[in-house]
Amino acid sequence: MVEDRLIQKALEAQKNAYVPYSVFPVGAALLTADGEIFSGCNVENASYGLTICAERSACVKAISEGKKDFIAIAIVGDQDNPTPPCGACRQFLYEFKPDLKIHLIGREEIITFDLRELLPEAFGPENL
């Protein structure tokens, strides 16, 4: 099943997280329309504002390889409950796929949202 592969890739990416400040590793795996999966992890910085989230890390990797047609993303946090993407990541992902499927994985449950549910009344390219 595609979701299982996506979740596995997100879990693998989570192991590479650089989180000396928050000690909160996050992994993400982004599925493209042609079946490729791009993973990413959060990378913190002593200047907190320069921290890169796992979701944006995966997205930038895909875009840098010429992929922009996304289907779904799996996000794994280090909690029992699923960890939703931050506002910046929601906005970043909306740029490329407003109806992106977002699978949030916690130790206890998995929940799935459409990005529009997590970012209602979003501002996107159509607003320019």
pLDDT in tens, 30-76: 999 999 999 999 999 999 999 999 999 999 999 999 999 999 999 99
Q: Which domain holds residue 97?
A: 2-127
Q: What is the tally of structural domains in the chain? A: 1
Q: What is the pLDDT of residue 29?
A: 98
Angle at 39 between CA 82 and CA 81, to 5 degrees: 5
> Which is it for strands 27-32 and 101-105: parallel, antiparallel or unpaired?
unpaired
Of the candidates 31, 3, 26, the one whose C-alpha atom is nearest the C-alpha of residue 13 is 26
Q: What is the CATH number of the domain that holds 84?
A: 3.40.140.10
Round to whole Å and give the CA distance between 29 and 101: 12
Report the catalytic residues: 55
Lowest mean pLDDT among 18-27, 63-72, 77-86: 77-86
pTM: 0.94
Query: Amino acid letter at 49?
Result: G
Q: What is the pLDDT of residue 125?
A: 87
- Contact yes or no for 89/40 (Cβ under 8 A): no
Q: What is the pLDDT of residue 105?
A: 95
Round to whole Å and give the CA distance between 1 and 13: 19
